[in-house]
């Protein structure tokens, strides 16, 4: 259904909480624009993840926390008006200190976020799977979590990510996570764990719903959704998969076009015009436009 007259989720956070109660695990592929989010929904996934790395990457910028809150809120709004699945939004470090986090939560909640994720890195933050990260004091992150939970006006889910594993070790990550749970975080996201055993140990000791990041080319080995489920995780995200695969396919297409001077060898790899129109609801727009034109015609006739 076209977004112009498709009703958005009234409380996306409530829907995500419902899924967390009803599903043993939620798989949330990454979306970096509304079209990808729409395809994620069409393919039957029940949630999607708006990754800071993927969004900044799509804007040809590095994942260093240099995107703005207004840019993130705008993309969240674009996505939430076309899909009726919960959007988990990566808000990096929350765009400032505790009081700034309150503004972040309000803006993203109004834009349609179901969950808002903040992390305990200092700015400029880095990709969670790179070296050289630095952490803010745990008490500063606790302040941000408290601020986030107090700022929300709906059932928006607050996700607290800790990057401590790559800086201070697994034990420190677990200790921080336990503090974040006490501060009110709804979900804990342990970033860059390095083995299935670490994921299991974290789940054994942190009593909260957990989110796992199954990114590519990082410090985490390639684990399956079933393995994360068995390890005790409630959500697994694939944050940059769609962006990386899209870039690879576009590069291949450009190589063919440059070499052969035609796109014909690529046609069987493309989404057809018909499939694309069905995805974006083109025929809904067309139908609505015809209905409006008919009503206008009848009104004009009545006046004459």
Single pTM value for the model: 0.95
Distance between CA atoms of 147 and 97, rounded to whole angstroms? 9
Instruction: Summarize the confidence of residues 113-124 as an average pLDDT.
Output: 95
Whether residues 198 and 284 share a domain: the answer is no
Report yes or no: 279 and 39 within 8 Å, Cβ to Cβ.
yes
pLDDT at 302 over 90: no
Instruction: Output Rg (C-alpha) for the chain, integer angstroms.
Output: 21
Instruction: Summarize the confidence of residues 41-65 as an average pLDDT.
Output: 96
Q: What are the two backbone dihedrals, phi and then psi, of residue 27, each rounded to the nearest 5 degrees?
A: -100, 120
Report yes or no: 86 and 9 within 8 Å, Cβ to Cβ.
yes
- Is 53 domain-assigned? yes
pLDDT at 189 over 70: yes
**E-state strands within the chain:** 26-29, 48-50, 87-90, 115-119, 157-162, 187-190, 211-213, 235-238
Whether residues 223 and 287 share a domain: the answer is no
Q: Which residues contact residue 272 at a Cβ distance below 8 angstroms, ignoring those fewer than 6 apart? A: none
Predicted local distance difference test score (pLDDT) of residue 38: 96
Whether residues 156 and 288 share a domain: the answer is no
Whether residues 94 and 234 share a domain: the answer is yes
Q: Report the share of the chain in percent with pLDDT over 70.
A: 98
End-to-end Cα distance, the chain: 36
Boundaries of domain holding 16: 3-239
pLDDT at 129 over 90: no
The β-bridge partners of 210 are 188
CATH number for the domain that contains residue 38: 3.20.20.60
Cα dihedral 33/37/40/45 (nearest 10): 140
Q: pLDDT digits over 214-223, tens only?
A: 999 999 999 9
Whether residues 281 and 143 share a domain: the answer is no
- Is 253 domain-assigned? no
Whether residues 177 and 294 share a domain: the answer is no
Q: Closest by alpha carbon to 105, among 55, 148, 41?
A: 148
Predicted local distance difference test score (pLDDT) of residue 67: 93
Whether residues 161 and 296 share a domain: the answer is no
- Is 248 domain-assigned? no
pLDDT at 98 over 80: yes
Whether residues 289 and 203 share a domain: the answer is no
How many structural domains does the chain have?
2
User: Any idea which of 33-47, 125-139, 255-269 has the lowest mean pLDDT?
Assistant: 125-139
Predicted local distance difference test score (pLDDT) of residue 37: 97
Whether residues 149 and 52 share a domain: the answer is yes
Predicted local distance difference test score (pLDDT) of residue 200: 98
- Is 246 domain-assigned? no
Predicted local distance difference test score (pLDDT) of residue 3: 65
3-state secondary structure of 211: strand
- Is 40 domain-assigned? yes
pLDDT at 2 over 60: no
Whether residues 202 and 125 share a domain: the answer is yes
Whether residues 188 and 295 share a domain: the answer is no
Whether residues 102 and 234 share a domain: the answer is yes
- Is 123 domain-assigned? yes
């Amino acid at each position: 259904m076209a977004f112009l007259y498709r009703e958005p989720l009234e409380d996306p956070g409530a829907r995500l909480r419902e899924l967390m109660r009803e599903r043993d695990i939620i798989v949330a592929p990454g979306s970096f624009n509304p079209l990808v989010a729409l395809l994620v929904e069409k393919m039957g996934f029940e949630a999607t993840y708006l990754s800071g790395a993927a969004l900044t990457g799509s804007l040809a910028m590095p994942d260093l926390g240099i995107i703005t809150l207004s840019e993130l809120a705008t993309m969240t709004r674009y996505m939430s008006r076309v899909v009726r699945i919960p959007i988990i939004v990566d808000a990096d470090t929350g765009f400032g200190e505790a009081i700034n986090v309150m503004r972040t939560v309000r803006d993203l909640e109004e834009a349609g976020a179901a969950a808002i994720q903040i992390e305990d890195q200092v700015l400029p933050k880095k990709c969670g799977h790179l070296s050289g990260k630095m952490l803010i004091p745990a008490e500063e992150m606790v302040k941000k979590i408290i601020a986030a939970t107090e700022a929300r006006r709906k059932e928006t889910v607050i996700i607290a990510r800790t990057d401590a594993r790559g800086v201070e070790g697994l034990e420190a990550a677990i200790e921080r996570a336990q503090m974040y749970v006490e501060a009110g975080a709804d979900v804990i996201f342990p970033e860059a764990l390095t083995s299935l055993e670490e994921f299991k140990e974290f789940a054994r000791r942190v009593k909260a719903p957990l989110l796992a990041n199954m990114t590519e080319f990082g410090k985490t080995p390639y684990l399956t959704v079933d393995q994360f489920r068995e390890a005790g995780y409630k959500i697994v995200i694939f944050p940059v998969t769609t962006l990386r695969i899209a870039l690879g396919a576009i590069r291949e297409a450009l190589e063919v076009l440059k070499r052969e001077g035609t796109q014909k060898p690529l046609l069987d790899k493309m989404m057809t015009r018909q499939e694309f129109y069905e995805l974006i609801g083109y025929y809904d727009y067309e139908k609505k436009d015809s209905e409006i034109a008919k009503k206008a015609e009848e009104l004009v006739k009545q006046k004459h």
